[in-house]
Amino acid sequence: MRVGVLSYPMLFQRDGGLQIQVRETIAALNRIGAETSHPLRAQLVDPNRERLDSFDLIHVFSAINGNYRLVEAANEMGVPVVLSPLLSPGWDRGSGLRARMADRITGRLTSWNVQTSYAQAKRALQLAELVIALGEAERQAIVSGFLTDPAKIRVFPNGISARFFTSRPELFRQRTGITGPFVLMVGSINPYKNQLGLVQALADLNLPVVLIGRVARQDQVYLDTVLRSPWVRWLGALDHDDPLLASAYCAASVVALPSHGEVFPLAVLESLAAGTPVVMTDENALDLQESAFALRKAKWHDAAAQRSAILEFIDRPPTRETVRTLVEQYTWQRVAAEISKCYFELQGSSMKRVRDEDEKLAATSADERSLVTQQIVERERTSS
């Protein structure tokens, strides 16, 4: 099976959770395809050079940024589509209803020449033959907010690279000279991620805050504001496979992610794999059972709750081995194995549907031929 992977054109102009998810999923799928009795080859598609119908199946990552057009094009060519929509778990029945009303108003005001991003995402979900949610919260958002048929949704989480489970703190401590407790935050530097809110929540604790992440040009002033605190240290952007990143997770006392919203953040999974507890936003699709001893959720603007949870983890840290057990099943290979099963099931059902349609067409043609023959015989009988 040849699987084409697509997303929006500017995806790899920066690095983040989605970019890692796409790369790691493709690599794991190809390892599985090389080892099993069902050959599978996954690759990124260049739509400027390759036709979608040269692939057996298309997997589109993200339902926004115009990606509905990719799903439409594949659908018109008869190519099955798997969609990983990566939608905010904040969508529910009420917000979905308001979005549909706004879309209808927008359409009427513009003679239906303008579509909302909600309408485009909804169309992508409708046309996709299989939808993959990262967690139960995202699945509920897809069903309630976008009125998607629950029968075509599967839930598979993100994975974690093995190096985070075996990470050690020594490299980070040698490189930075930080040997005591500190809070780590990994992710793009911008107001949505809310680094400034974290720094303000910990302002009078004399507790180092280490930031790792890329800053866009328009957010440089925001970073400068964050760095006014003498307790903040920014290490810049690190490649995902940089050993310093894994070491930083392991060296940290707590990893914080107080952003306005997340879907299934890799930074949280990687932190837990390194044995480090996490304080994160409550707007997310991550649901780990019995994880409160190592994972606390708070509203992005609740500085008191964030501060309290961070201090509790520093004063009474859980054992690293116990924390790691929370995510030991989250490997890219296991996730890819489940996704590949869906690919072959979808391919099988699509082939069956084509056969059924061909048989129906053949039967219809036979009936039509029989009817024509009967009409000819009847005319000859009448004329004689």
2-159+332-358 matches 162-325 in fold:
yes
Cα dihedral: 46, 47, 49, 51 (round 10): 120
Assign 357 a pLDDT band (cuts: 50, 70, 90).
low
Q: What is the Cα–Cα distance from 242 to 262, expressed in whole angstroms?
A: 23
pLDDT given at position 285? 80
What amino acid occupies position 166?
Answer: T
In CATH, the number for domain 2-159+332-358 is 3.40.50.2000
Q: Specify the residue for token string 């302002």.
A: 203
CATH architecture of 162-325: 3-Layer(aba) Sandwich (3.40)
State yes or no: pLDDT of 205 exceeds 90: yes
Q: Is the entire prediction scored with pTM above 0.75? A: yes
The region of weakest confidence among 26-40, 110-124, 170-184, 265-279 is 26-40
Domain boundaries, the chain: 2-159+332-358, 162-325
Instruction: Please return the burial class of 354, using the count of CB atoms within 10 Å of its CB with bins 0-12, 13-18 and 19+.
Output: exposed
* Nearest of 230, 223, 229, 233 to residue 190 by alpha carbon: 223
Average confidence score pLDDT of the chain: 92
213-232: average pLDDT: 96
- Flag whether pLDDT at 143 surpasses 80: yes
Of 98, 133, 140, 93, nearest to 119 (Cα)?
98
For 22, how many CA atoms within 13 A lie in the half-sphere containing its CB?
24
Residue 356 pLDDT > 70: no
